[in-house]
Structure 1
Amino acid sequence: MHQLSKLPSVSRILSDTQIAALVDSHGQTVVTRIVRDTLSAARAAARTGEPVPDVTSLVSRVADTAQTLAMPRLRPVYNLTGTVLHTNLGRALLPEEAVTALVTAARSPCALEYDIEDGGRGDRDDVVAELLCELTGAEAATVVNNNAAAVFLLLNALVRKKKKKVIVSRGELIEIGGAFRIPDIMQRAGADLVEVGTTNRTHLTDFRAAITRRTAMLMKIHTSNYAIQGFTHAVPERELAELAHAHELPFIVDLGSGTLTGLERWGLPHEPTPGESIAAGADLVTFSGDKLLGGPQAGLLVGRRDLIKRIKRNPLKRALRVGKLTLAALEAVLRLYRDPDRLAERLTALQQLTRPEAEIRAATQRLLPDVQRALNALPVTVEIVPLQSQIGSGSLPVDRLPSAGLAVRPQGRKSGVLHRIETGLRELPRPVIGRIEDGALLLDLRCLQRQEEDGFRANLARLSCS
């Protein structure tokens, strides 16, 4: 008890000049709570025999806690993982046109559901629907908050009331990040799943044999997050469309990732586009906005006008709709696709995917001395190495892009030092995210732009791996 009496009061701590400055920055309520919590922790520690901290130490603890609490959880990081469209790091970076549009929409009232021409109520989908139809060849379009929602909504709108069946190839019943499975979303949406074919081979006859009076639609799901190679066969979209239409059924294509232009013109692997699916006879196509498209998170549905109309009448459409910020950014990105010749210069995601290996290697040469300097007290070596970047964790994950980076390797058998460095990099003011692979900490510089290098150096100078 004698030790506890040495602890200062709450008011004594609050009267300290450093604490007064914290109150100006963070507010009286927050700082007072931190002071009380700090004193409570010190009191509990003293009861176990630990020495009572002095006022200076307590003030320092309060200041550290206040700084930690004030730090936003959604923090920018340096993505040096080698995965461009990284799901856990927010996927595609928005181009400047989209950032400007988003900020303008955030600061100003917008004609979101207001028809300026006649002064009546408008439809928020109109912000992007015309662009989507122009770029895909579809009759109509609508937008929800992600592609999973798009699939769920179309199934719920077109299948649930009839409790009918949806025919899908067994090899396309994918699972994506977070244990999200297509069969589960179908069940929740009210659809009865009918699996046809085998894991590696499905034929048109498998679909034909499965069609009954209870069939609601035929569905094809693009397996964008894995690839089956070898003895395989998938039914072309055109053949499935013809079969579905012969039985007066809609044919649905879920592209998952989705892009609006052929990526092969920039030397990237071909990815099916909504326009190709529409041209092949698909009645509805769903795809994402924040992957290969290079826009904000969104689920896009394009296709037949009558089906889109039914989907938009579903009460869940309101629950899954997007706000003005998403629409503003999406509209700006879609407008860039009208000028495909300059797309690689203006769309940030495409810039990163098409960045020349030589340019990346030049960046490693510029930054090698800085990384070596930051780690010179540790038993490691740092060298420039060729790397293979990944397009996306859920988009073309098996395809690789030639890249370059820095490899940090321990000297001798001190492998634990890599984890200390990796932790230290994550604790920087702007966390640096790399990857540990084959006994080395790899920092792939594909996604670090030239204009970011000075900031990266200043950030790195604060590295502590103790």
Structure 2
Amino acid sequence: MPATRSPIPSIDRLLRTPAAAVLLARFGRDATLAALRAEAEAVRAAFRAGAQPPGEIALIDAAADRLARLFAPSQRRVVNLTGTVLHTNLGRAPLPEEAIAAAAEAMRHPTTLEFDLATGRRGERDHHVRSLLRELTGAEDATVVNNNAAAVLLVLNTLAKGREVPVSRGELIEIGGSFRMPEIMARAGCRLVEIGTTNRTHARDYRDAIGPRTALLMRVHQANFAISGFTARVADRELAAIAKNAGAPFVTDLGAGALVDLDRFGLPHEPTAREALAAGADLVTFSGDKLLGGPQAGLVVGRADLIRRLNRNPLKRALRLDKGRLAALEAVLRLYRAPDLLPQRLPALALLTRPESAIRAAAGRLMDRLRPALGPAWQVAVEPCRSQIGSGALPEDRLLSAAVTVAGKGVESVASRLRALPVPVLGRIGEGRLWLDCRCLTDTDERDLAAVLPDLGRGAM
């Protein structure tokens, strides 16, 4: 009997088609060839099992889908309707256009990252932000690393390795990703001395803990939680005086790191780096991508002699910032020279200060699009809610907001379909409903959702 003809054309023939030429130009020969072979093998297996083989175009389309999945980025843009503005899992603060442009320019070309044009010699990369940080905080000097955990690690390893650091039990924090202050201190090579109690720590507790092996006193920002009721906490000025009397530096970890008083924008007060230094801190550490509204970075400001010691630590090189993030950070810090314009220029602050009326209007527009997309099986409404700042900042304070809520049996399926959109939409489920907090819903988000929401109802109910 004659040999059975293959149910699919040869790979060489497929590669000569106009459709394959498009794939070759976009994905290259090796990847396209591998995708066509994989789809061809799947067709052969299905044919042997009795399935009808697809046509030539259908096979190439399947290979195109395979290549699209293979080359698709893992990190994707999402629409943040969770109600948490500075969401750690979503990248925290969105950057202003000035910072994005500065980072792109720095990454596109050689730069003066560590080159001094005046002398023609090697320069120092922190120079690009040092003067701005000194100006904005009142510090003698400053340095930067890749996040605030790294800043704390560098400070402790430099100033306290092999020695003791008293810390109030009420400040032994754990934040997202199982970051624990006691473990950071252990990695830094210093010994934690727990003092006071969870809710009450007094000046005498610090004085009693100071001994010949004490390296420094430390205040740690209570991120993601607050202690209220029968409490006692030593004021920064008194703690600074105790440290000075003992001949030890006083270090404050601010965590969220506001650079300006948020009161002026109608937000709850968060301690600033300038306030911490004025209260007597010798070094202050804080984040760049939280309330500051910049890229991920850890900033250390304070006494010049201590900053010099940090910069001499070999860990500094391992923790340093790349040129793109330095350029973005510099651009954001320059915006702070016009603090009255920050709500218009800094996206994070714009979201935090967004008027409730504007949020309600955005929620109404989203409801009008979502209701017909989901159909009558779901109850869709606009309800008041409260947003949170996020990233450990002001954990007890909430901001008045408005959300689109979806109620009905199996509301998790709606949340799942929203996450499956071309631009995934993230909300939160609570009280038996899906809440889509519209504080962070931008004009761009609304335009994109207008195009894709009509397809939402095609999923199974």
Question: Do the two structures share a fold, i.e. TM-score over 0.5?
Answer: yes
The equivalent of 2:274 in structure 1 is 275
The equivalent of 2:179 in structure 1 is 180
Alignment of 1:105-144 (within 5 A): 105-144=106-145
**Matches of 1:306 and 1:95 in 2, distance apart?**
33
Contact in 1 for aligned 2:175/2:223 (Cα 8 Å): no
Does residue 465 of the first structure (1) align with residue 459 of the second (2)?
Answer: yes
The equivalent of 2:380 in structure 1 is 382
**Matches of 2:416 and 2:366 in 1, distance apart?**
20
Per-residue CA shift, 1:247-300, capped at 9, x if unaligned?
100111111111111111222111111111100111111000000000000000
**Matches of 1:409 and 1:36 in 2, distance apart?**
47
Which residue identity is paired with 1:440? R
Task: Say which of 442, 445, 449 aligns to 2:435.
Answer: 442
Which residue identity is paired with 1:71? A
CA offset at residue 462 of structure 1? Answer: 3.9
CA offset at residue 358 of structure 1? Answer: 0.6
The equivalent of 2:405 in structure 1 is 407
CA spacing shift, 1:38–1:287, aligned 2, 3 Å: same
Query: Residue 127 of structure 1: SS of its match in structure 2?
Result: helix
Alignment of 1:283-432 (within 5 A): 283-376=282-375, 379-410=377-408, 414-415=409-410, 418-432=411-425
**TM-score (normalised: structure 1):** 0.93
CA offset at residue 436 of structure 1? Answer: 1.5
Per-residue CA shift, 1:40-91, capped at 9, x if unaligned?
44556667x4636424553332222112223222221111111100111110
CA spacing shift, 1:215–1:40, aligned 2, 3 Å: farther
Query: Residue 229 of structure 1: SS of its match in structure 2?
Result: coil
Alignment of 1:23-38 (within 5 A): 23-38=24-39
Contact in 2 for aligned 1:423/1:465 (Cα 8 Å): no
CA spacing shift, 1:110–1:462, aligned 2, 3 Å: farther
The equivalent of 1:239 in structure 2 is 238
CA spacing shift, 1:283–1:13, aligned 2, 3 Å: same
Contact in 1 for aligned 2:224/2:395 (Cα 8 Å): yes
Gaps of 5+ in 2: none
Contact in 2 for aligned 1:390/1:401 (Cα 8 Å): yes
**Matches of 1:393 and 1:335 in 2, distance apart?**
23
Moved more, 100-109 or 163-172: 100-109
Contact in 1 for aligned 2:293/2:346 (Cα 8 Å): yes
**Matches of 1:6 and 1:453 in 2, distance apart?**
47
Moved more, 22-31 or 269-278: 22-31
Which residue identity is paired with 1:424? R
Per-residue CA shift, 1:114-161, capped at 9, x if unaligned?
11222221111010011111111111100000000001111111122x
**Matches of 1:42 and 1:157 in 2, distance apart?**
62
Query: Residue 232 of structure 1: SS of its match in structure 2?
Result: coil
Per-residue CA shift, 1:330-385, capped at 9, x if unaligned?
11111111111111121111000000101111112223221112212x62121111
Contact in 2 for aligned 1:252/1:283 (Cα 8 Å): yes
The equivalent of 1:97 in structure 2 is 98
Q: What value does the CA root-mean-square deviation take over the aligned residues?
A: 2.0
Alignment of 1:40-119 (within 5 A): 40-42=41-43, 49=49, 51=51, 53-56=53-56, 57-119=58-120
Which residue identity is paired with 1:408? V
Query: Residue 120 of structure 2: SS of its match in structure 1?
Result: coil
Which residue identity is paired with 2:439? R
Contact in 1 for aligned 2:43/2:54 (Cα 8 Å): no
**Matches of 1:157 and 1:55 in 2, distance apart?**
67
Which residue identity is paired with 1:153? L
**Matches of 2:405 and 2:333 in 1, distance apart?**
38
**Matches of 1:217 and 1:44 in 2, distance apart?**
69
Contact in 2 for aligned 1:138/1:302 (Cα 8 Å): yes
Which residue identity is paired with 2:278? A
Query: Residue 446 of structure 1: SS of its match in structure 2?
Result: helix
CA offset at residue 4 of structure 1? Answer: 11
Which residue identity is paired with 2:433? A
**Matches of 1:169 and 1:349 in 2, distance apart?**
32
Query: Residue 215 of structure 2: SS of its match in structure 1?
Result: strand
**TM-score (normalised: structure 2):** 0.94
**Matches of 1:245 and 1:110 in 2, distance apart?**
42
Contact in 2 for aligned 1:4/1:52 (Cα 8 Å): no
Per-residue CA shift, 1:283-338, capped at 9, x if unaligned?
11100000000000000000111110000001111111001111111111111111
CA offset at residue 395 of structure 1? Answer: 2.2
Which residue identity is paired with 1:392? G
Which residue identity is paired with 2:271? P
CA offset at residue 386 of structure 1? Answer: 0.8
Query: Residue 249 of structure 1: SS of its match in structure 2?
Result: coil
CA spacing shift, 1:178–1:3, aligned 2, 3 Å: farther
Which residue identity is paired with 2:334? R
**Matches of 2:306 and 2:346 in 1, distance apart?**
31
CA offset at residue 213 of structure 1? Answer: 0.3
Query: Residue 264 of structure 2: SS of its match in structure 1?
Result: helix
* Identity fraction in percent: 56
CA offset at residue 387 of structure 1? Answer: 1.3
Contact in 2 for aligned 1:420/1:465 (Cα 8 Å): no
Contact in 1 for aligned 2:158/2:310 (Cα 8 Å): yes
CA offset at residue 453 of structure 1? Answer: 2.2
**Matches of 1:3 and 1:368 in 2, distance apart?**
59
**Matches of 1:395 and 1:4 in 2, distance apart?**
68
Moved more, 123-132 or 366-375: 366-375
